[in-house]
A and B are shown apart, each in its own frame.
Chain A
Amino acid sequence: MAKTHITMKVNGAEVEGLVEPRTLLVHFIRENLQMTGTHIGCETTHCGACTVDIDGMSVKSCTMFAVQANGSDITTIEGMANADGSLSALQEGFRMMHGLQCGFCTPGMIMRAQRLLKENPSPSEDEIRMGISGNICRCTGYQNIVKAIQYAAAKINGVEFREAAE
């Protein structure tokens, strides 16, 4: 099958590649761009491990073809740290609140959470839980992921983070 030349911006850098139409975006990111932070979990649009941010939307990159992302602006987990290399509020939140155990779902969780907080900077616990309902974690039971996102929201909003009483 003939290959198509595509260009896009990934984490601020212009990238290009030759892909078959059937190449999924997640494969292009992991194999062509060699950015393996974006994970492949279920491959059936359920788990959210492959979530990246495309033109202001959280997208499961296993369910979109790379050719469809031609010309778009993408952020992956590799683009989440602050410019000086320090952890962003969400990354720090996941670390401080123990928001991960095996870590497999974490890139997708963080990518989804950053878009959630951009759209809703002060989400309630319910809004966080619904907001990450497309991301599955099999370790944590979600409690600490929710806390991690609350921690990040507080930090971004410049208020003190107080853990809700158990």
Chain B
Amino acid sequence: MIPGPFSYHRPATVADAVKLLSTLGDEARPLAGGHSLVPMMKLRLATPEHLVDLHNVAGLKGIRRDGNKVVIGAMTTQHELLASDEIAKSIPILHETALLIADPQVRYRGTVGGNVANGDPGNDMPALMMTLWATYHLDGPNGAREVAATDYYQGAYFTAIEPGELLTSISIPVPAAGHGYAYEKLKRKVGDYATAAAAVVLTMSGGKVTTCAIGLTNLSEIPLLADAAAKAVIGTSLDAATLKKAAAAAQAIMAPAADARGPVEYRKHVGGIMVTRALQRAAAKAS
């Protein structure tokens, strides 16, 4: 399989990349890790006339601490994320999740920015970014702006990004010390997209949940934040009745597609189980 012809551009700065994307218009696509786009191009499901390769843009790389936030450059690979001590220390759920994405080869090339920006409902990072209250930094022909992860996703492959805009970095407020976390992902095999997955970040005090956020992956055409489910566990010790209530509240907003990963009823059923397990494991980790 060979992709259709295209012109190749390799800018060195964010400004040049944005300029290329905005002048070349709809026929141009940014190329990050390429592990979603290149297979789509080989299948001719995507036929961009121009590719703007971002690998040479130094300004899109790196992970840094900025006060109480961690800023991740859009071109940071999953492999680099996994190698980061800063991430291990301050936002370990990112490590847990990155290890469940695809396989080692894909993680060497696949980027965090590509994973969150593309709007693929199967990607794992979007729901997690919502759970962590992340902010996406976009740069475009009309300047830079910020969009909350919770406002970014509008439909499958349809996001708040405007033509000519580029995701440059993601900033994540560091969760409170002693927070509990878990990403539970049911998949058919290593490397697969989730049949259902749930992210939980919570804090506990005196055996009771004080704050909680729950994200859901691949259980709708966009990543979901299960607000009602999170609210249901606040102030509780996650007893059996509460877990059941939270799972039901999460299931109420799930709208998965029926596909090779299973019928709708099954995916909602296991979605509830992922929420329950993630809550239990996160609580056990909290201190």
Contacts and interface: CB of A to CB of B under 8 A. Distances in A.
A64 B5 contact: no
A134 B34 contact: no
Contacts of A60: 105-106, 109
Interface stretch (B35-43, B57-65, B217-225): B35-43
Interface of A: 1-2, 4, 20-22, 24, 27, 43-46, 48, 51, 57-60, 63-65, 67-68, 112, 116, 130-131, 133-135
Interface in B1-36: 1-8, 34-35
B70 to A, nearest CB: 24
B190 interface: yes
Nearest to A24: B2
B10 to A, nearest CB: 8
B104 A63 contact: no
B214 interface: no
Given A20-B5, A67-B8, A48 B35 contact: no
Contacts, number: 79
B200 interface: no
A133 B38 contact: no
Contacts of A68: 34, 53, 55
B185 interface: no
Contacts of B4: 22
A67 B51 CA distance: 12
Interface range for B: 20 to 34
Contacts of B104: 58, 112, 116, 130-131, 133-134
B157 interface: no
27 contacts: A1-B5, A1-B6, A1-B7, A20-B5, A21-B7, A21-B8, A22-B3, A22-B5, A24-B2, A27-B2, A43-B42, A44-B1, A45-B39, A57-B108, A58-B108, A60-B106, A63-B34, A63-B39, A65-B38, A68-B34, A116-B104, A130-B104, A131-B104, A133-B103, A133-B191, A134-B102, A135-B103
Given A4-B8, A45-B35, 8 more contacts: A20-B5, A22-B4, A24-B2, A43-B1, A45-B38, A60-B105, A67-B8, A134-B191
A64 B190 contact: no
Given A133-B190, A134-B102, A64 B8 contact: no
Interface in B82-116: 102-106, 108-109
A62 B43 CA distance: 13
A16 B1 CA distance: 23
B79 A46 contact: no
A116 B39 CA distance: 25
A82 to B, nearest CB: 25
Contact of B39 (A1, A20, A44): A44
Contact of A57 (B3, B6, B79): B79
Contacts of A27: 2
